[in-house]
Structure 1
Amino acid sequence: MIALLLLSVLAQLSGCSNTKTVYVPVPPVQLPASLTAETPYPDIPDNMTWGGSLDLNVSLLSALGQCNRDKADIRTIGQSRASQ
């Protein structure tokens, strides 16, 4: 008898719920200009020495590292947009 009473109360309570979901459009967040800017590359001298070659390698690896950091940041932003 108590179970029947509880079921009727639950049926009445579920009929009271009247919620409406409204989706509000949100403009997409623009990527920072620093992530989409061109990465400068070092100048290659005409007279290359062995020491100059090593300096050029360091400069090129720095530019490559900056590109990889920018791509990682873009991926992070893309993943956060997808999870929303």
Structure 2
Amino acid sequence: MMIALVGLCLLVQLTGCSNTRTVYVPVPQQQIPASLTAETPQPFIPDPLTYGASLDLNVSLLAALGMCNRDKADIRKVEDARLSGSESGSE
């Protein structure tokens, strides 16, 4: 008799949860900052190009390449955040 009463109490508690409602809220699109899509400045190439100046040019080119790679990584983070935000809203 006692087991039946406990079972009925649990059944009543389970039916109380059936009235939940799922509401999806639209998430605004995150814009990619203009600083990430801005053109990377090109280093000046001296004329005539001497050996010492070519070493300085290599340093400048590697710095520009590093800036481009950093911008691409930041854009990937923005895109991943956008995709994960839209996936959680569509479930």
TM-score, length basis structure 1: 0.87
Task: Write out per-residue CA displacement over residues 6-47 of structure 1, whole angstroms, 9 at most, x where no aligned residue.
Answer: 221111111112111111112111111111111111122231
Superposition CA RMSD, Å: 1.4
Measure, in 2, the Cα distance between the counterparts of 1:24 and 1:63. 41
Unaligned runs of 5+ in 1: none
Of structures 1 and 2, the one with the larger relative CO (CA 8 A, separation 6+) is 2
Paired AA for residue 72 in structure 1:
A
Q: Number of aligned pairs? A: 84
Unaligned runs of 5+ in 2: 86-91
Question: Displacement of 1:53 after TM fit?
Answer: 0.3
**Percentage of pairs with the same residue:** 61
Match of residue 79 from structure 1: 80
Measure, in 1, the Cα distance between the counterparts of 2:83 and 2:47. 47
Match of residue 4 from structure 1: 4
SS at match of 1:16: helix
- Any conservation in 1 of the 2:30–2:78 contact (CA below 8 Å)? no
Structure with more helix by fraction: 2
Query: After superposition, where does 1:5-84 map in structure 2 within 5 Å?
Result: 5-17=5-17, 18-84=19-85
Q: After the TM superposition, list the runs of 4 or more consecutive aligned residues in structure 1 that deviate by more than 6 angstroms.
A: none
Paired AA for residue 5 in structure 1:
L
